Structure formats: structure tokens, C-alpha cells
């Protein structure tokens, strides 16, 4: 009998620890990851625009994807080349929403060579999180 009780206690502890890990969406891990990836991509886009002195475009597609492209020639505003993500993986740099999450309010925009956005932005997500792009500085928060 004591062995059976010990096994039940161990199974109860494992269930309490392991089950939340398998249902990450329920506990917000996917929402936080999606938010952080989007925020990181937008900050990377601004830094790339300043460092390379090129226009960088942030394009939102279908409410589920953010793609970063840039203008390969100085002084040109049309983005025709895919931006390579950090670490050198294959371009384009994209952020794709996990199942069940979307961008509820996001408009495509550009960063000029000084890092300023074409317009201030408030990017809302279905998880209730929001990213604000400052109009004057381009800072994403």
C-alpha cells in the first residue's frame, strides 16, 4: 500500500509540472514569443536602416505574417531585396504568427535611412499585446 501511495504522489507531482508545458498556448508562452519576435524584428529593421543607410520595409500580410525587405540602392525608397535575419539564415526575415494568433491592427510601413518610420504605428495582436512605433525616433516599445 505505501508503494502505491508513493507512486500516486509522484504521478501527481509530474502531472502538475509537465501538463502546463504541453499546453503552452493556455499559459501564454506562444503569445509572449510572438510578441517578442515581432518587437525584435522591428527593432532590427530600424537598426539595419540606420547602419546600412537604406530604406527598410515592414510588410504585414494576411494578419499573420511580418516580412522585412530593404532597398538595395542608396536613395531608393522601393524595397526589392529580402532582408537577411541575424545569424545569416536564409532570407527573407519573417515572423509568422502561431496557430490562433494574429495581428489585429497592423499597417505596413518603412524606416528611412535615419531610422524614422513613414508613420507612427500601433501594432495590436489578438493576445491583447501592443507594440508602439514612435513617430519621431522609430523606437519600438
| Cα–Cα distance list, 99 to 2, 21, 38, 125 (Å) | 44, 17, 15, 13
- Predicted confidence at residue 20, as pLDDT, reads 61
- Predicted confidence at residue 48, as pLDDT, reads 96
CB 119 within 8 A of CB 136: no
- Predicted confidence at residue 116, as pLDDT, reads 96
- Predicted confidence at residue 23, as pLDDT, reads 57
Give the end-to-end CA distance of the chain in Å, rounded to a whole number.
57
- Predicted confidence at residue 22, as pLDDT, reads 62
| Domain with residues 2-133, CATH architecture | 3-Layer(bab) Sandwich (3.55)
CB 80 within 8 A of CB 72: yes
The CA distance from 58 to 119, in Å, is 12
pLDDT, one tens digit per residue, over 98-137 is 988 999 999 999 999 999 999 989 999 998 999 999 999 9
pTM, full prediction: 0.80
Residues of the chain with pLDDT under 70: 19-27
Per-domain residue ranges of the chain: 2-133
Half-sphere exposure of residue 58, counting CA atoms within 13 Å on the CB side?
Answer: 33
Amino acid at each position: 500500500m505505501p508503494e502505491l501511495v508513493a507512486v500516486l504522489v509522484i504521478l501527481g507531482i509530474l502531472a502538475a509540472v509537465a501538463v502546463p508545458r504541453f499546453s503552452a498556448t493556455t499559459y501564454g508562452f506562444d503569445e509572449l514569443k510572438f510578441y517578442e519576435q515581432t518587437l525584435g524584428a522591428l527593432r532590427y529593421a530600424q537598426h539595419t536602416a540606420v547602419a546600412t543607410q537604406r530604406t527598410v520595409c515592414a510588410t504585414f500580410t494576411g494578419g499573420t505574417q511580418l516580412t522585412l525587405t530593404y532597398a538595395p540602392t542608396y536613395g531608393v525608397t522601393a524595397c526589392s531585396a529580402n532582408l537577411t535575419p541575424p545569424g545569416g539564415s536564409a532570407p527573407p526575415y519573417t515572423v509568422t504568427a502561431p496557430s490562433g494568433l494574429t495581428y489585429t491592427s497592423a499597417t505596413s510601413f518603412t524606416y528611412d535611412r535615419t531610422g524614422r518610420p513613414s508613420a507612427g504605428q500601433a501594432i495590436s495582436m489578438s493576445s491583447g499585446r501592443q507594440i508602439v512605433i514612435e513617430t519621431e525616433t522609430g523606437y519600438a516599445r
